[in-house]
Structure 1
Amino acid sequence: MTADALTVPGQDLSVRLEDIRSAAELLDGVIVKTPMDHSRALGRMMDATVHLKAENLQRAGSFKVRGAYVRMARLSPEERARGVVAASAGNHAQGVALAAKKLGIRAMIFMPHGVALPKLAATRDHGAEVVLHGSSVDESLAEAQRHAAETGAVFIHPFNSTDVVAGQGTIGLEILDQNPEVDTVLMGIGGGGLLAGAAVALKQEAARRGREIRIIGVQAENAAAYPPSLAADALVPIKGAKRTIADGIAVGKPGEIPFEIIKDLVDDVVTVSENAIARALIFLLERSKMVVEPAGAVGVAALMEGKLEELGLTGDQAPKDIVAVLSGGNIDPMLMMRVIQHGLAAASRFLRIKIMLQDRPGELSTISRLIADTDANVTGVDHNPIGSDLSMGDVSITITMETKGEEHSQQVLDNLRCDGYDPLVIS
């Protein structure tokens, strides 16, 4: 089956290259054609040319406005008069709110209690009415659908819509226009709208030019619904999902429309660890000067975690020209602070140790000197003389410090152990 003839019996789930070209015309002058940044650091790491498609610099901070605008621009006058409703904890909310403002449509967005304040404020600033409901996106989604059924407002789904998929697919056309030599593209998957649309655009346009492009989807391993769904050739919901910092792609079940495209056109789907995502976010901040949310950094995380090698893409099979899509940059500053700390720890540049020692003058001074001798920078000390694991006359010292990497952290630990101390690394 090819993408330009994709259908499901009894239901039109078709998304064709011409649909994406038509969506691009609708979006002309509405969205930003985001830049393609050449990453020399990643290129050296991969022994290839690596570019970053900076969709984190898109209007409203992510790719979501592409699909939301196309879906809403195609509403009839009667549907527009009824208004639209959506549910989201972040990017989809802002995309719908911005699109509604551009089109002059009334928008109501349901968001869960506890949503990050910057995302709440940004959605309201775009002119949408925000209703806080429930403690999760699923609860907000159920209320949004109830509201749509009760009032007649048009529900704007974040990914399970052919118009949304076509709108998101315009990013694939931009990638080929900006980098005609690309042979491998990586991007995150939540419900699958972005990956599905980009896959249609990239595969069909590349085939028209007589070339092939490998497309790799990336999910956080703590919230990965696509690998089991693809294995079963059915929509399999996540069971016992864990928390992930990549909340933007933490979707419980694939969308039917994206899934039918992805299983047919996407070459591989891989998962990445929480540590890899955090390290990628730090890397993008330091080396590319890019503020990217965790969900937007998973493509880079896959490169840094060696996922191409795991797929056997080495030697003659190794990609020569890679694009990783940075799908969004809407990160709450408080989350960023925690992710940065987590990423530094994962990269062994942030070391926290606990040491039991006798409560006598000079002990802390000795430890400080041993750490200073290794040129580590102490950023915090916690002195605790009380605890069930302490003997009479002992104290527990927790020391937080900045280090230069794994080798330097090991040097700090070795220096303390050589002097008779027994530091315990705290994660």
Structure 2
Amino acid sequence: MLTLDKVYHAAYVLKPVIRKTDLIPARQINPESEIYLKTENLQVTGSFKVRGAYYKISQLSDEEKAHGVIACSAGNHAQGVALAAAHSGIPSLICIPDGAPISKVEATKSYGAQVELVKGVYDDAYNRAVELQKERNLTFIHPFNDPDVIAGQGTIGLELLKQLPDMDAVIVPVGGGGLISGVAFAIKSLNPKCKVYGVQAAGAASMKASLEQNGPHSLTGVSTFADGIAVKCPGDLTYELCSKYVDDVVTVSDDETATAILALIEQQKLITEGAGAVAVAAAMFNKVDVKGKKVACILSGGNIDVTILSKVINRGLMKAGRSTELIIEMIDKPGQLKEVSALIADLGANVVSVHHDRGGEDTDINGCYLRIAMETRNWAHVEQIEKAISDAGYHIVHRQNIG
């Protein structure tokens, strides 16, 4: 059973193990509000998950510990369980979806855990872990649907109330619901006026669907690069806690999440994974009411695979209107490219590539196309460039974002 005493006890147990992560102001995220970032991406193991995993394992009996522990995870819970098991001197076996970032898999192994990669997503890894738990009589450490795990995550709520006592709202990433259940329970128990909002990836909105259908609902599939919250079905316990303590759950697109990651890198010098940035995306794109309010966004993790980071940055640039390509129809004669390039340069954009293509069957005999890629400041800058080119007598036939 989850109680406030249990959350306080978790905070006491975790004190020598975890970092009390900083809460830093980030007013550029949404100038109409006071945004603060709870930097769990800088937590031990790079994620909040160590809180719940460590507290759960600390509460096991000697007999349960002797059996060894097993868990399923998209990567962050895996590292928390592996670290906690190593501290307790017990073996751990972790089932991880085969699509999880290599960095998370290798980090889990580095803490001493045995890893089994499972084809599919988190829910498939969960089913395999249940099989192995029965076969080998291991002790199962659930990533979210467990009172001790939820209590561990709830310690973030206690820290937030001390760091920002007058906050109006907190925005929390949601996958299976363990983090938001603990945070919402702690905050609502001590400050009922504070709003608690959950954020899910639009392609994995299982908790949102469950709340709308008044019961745990399983999606047929999930699709998002935010692997840490790609969960098909929330737990029955997390659903109950969310339905009681959470004010609303909203969704953000992968493009919006990528934009948030880029903003955090540029403005705050912070790296987050997809799941870690969805709360910021919700604040940036006004998915919840933040205007004029003090709002804490939880950066739940920073374990992004560096191999996809460049793709995410490019997508963020595209979404923000900072990487654009124009296709311009013109007459094939000397000076045309020079004039267009000068127009773009005079307005402060940077040309990164140019492709000249002579006309085809559907164009004038002396016609051609100029495909020109640019680095721009924002969408207003792109529109300013387009107007200057059009005013000069050129016809823009297509515009697309590039990355």
TM over 0.5: yes
1:325 has 2:298 as partner? yes
2:256 aligns to what SS in structure 1?
A: helix
Q: Residue in 2 aligned with 1:138?
A: 123
Q: Residue in 2 aligned with 1:268?
A: 248
1:201 has 2:180 as partner? no
What one-letter code is carried by the residue in structure 1 that aligns with 2:270? M
Deviates more, 1:397-406 or 1:151-160: 397-406
Distance 1:145 1:362, change over 3 A: farther
Query: Please, what TM-score do these two structures have when normalized by structure 2?
Result: 0.91
| 8 Å Cα contact 2:96/2:118 also seen in 1 | yes
What one-letter code is carried by the residue in structure 1 that aligns with 2:372? I
Q: 1:191 aligned to 176, 180, 183, which one?
A: 176
Q: Residue in 2 aligned with 1:295?
A: 275
* 2: CA distance, partners of 1:239 / 1:415: 49
Deviates more, 1:153-162 or 1:168-177: 153-162
| 8 Å Cα contact 1:416/1:423 also seen in 2 | no
Q: 1:28 aligned to 6, 15, 19, which one?
A: 15
* 2: CA distance, partners of 1:347 / 1:140: 36
1:39 has 2:26 as partner? yes
| 8 Å Cα contact 2:123/2:231 also seen in 1 | no
Aligned positions of 1:229-244 closer than 5 A: 229-239=210-220, 241=222, 243-244=223-224
What one-letter code is carried by the residue in structure 2 that aligns with 1:281? I
Q: Deviations over 1:172-228 (max 9, x none)?
A: 011112222222111111110000011111111226xxxx21111111222212222
Distance 1:67 1:393, change over 3 A: farther
* 1: CA distance, partners of 2:209 / 2:27: 35
Distance 1:170 1:399, change over 3 A: same
2:108 aligns to what SS in structure 1?
A: helix
Q: Residue in 1 aligned with 2:313?
A: 340
Query: Please, what TM-score do these two structures have when normalized by structure 1?
Result: 0.86
* 1: CA distance, partners of 2:248 / 2:232: 20
1:83 has 2:68 as partner? yes
Distance 1:298 1:388, change over 3 A: farther
Percent of aligned pairs with the same residue?
42
Q: Residue in 2 aligned with 1:110?
A: 95
| 8 Å Cα contact 1:296/1:328 also seen in 2 | yes
* 1: CA distance, partners of 2:177 / 2:333: 60
| 8 Å Cα contact 2:326/2:396 also seen in 1 | no
Q: How many residues align?
A: 400
1:108 aligns to what SS in structure 2?
A: strand
CA-CA distance at 1:140 after TM superposition: 2.6
CA-CA distance at 1:389 after TM superposition: 7.9
Q: Residue in 2 aligned with 1:164?
A: 149
Distance 1:117 1:33, change over 3 A: same
Distance 1:85 1:410, change over 3 A: same
1:408 has 2:364 as partner? no
Q: 1:222 aligned to 203, 211, 214, which one?
A: 203
**RMSD after superposition:** 2.4
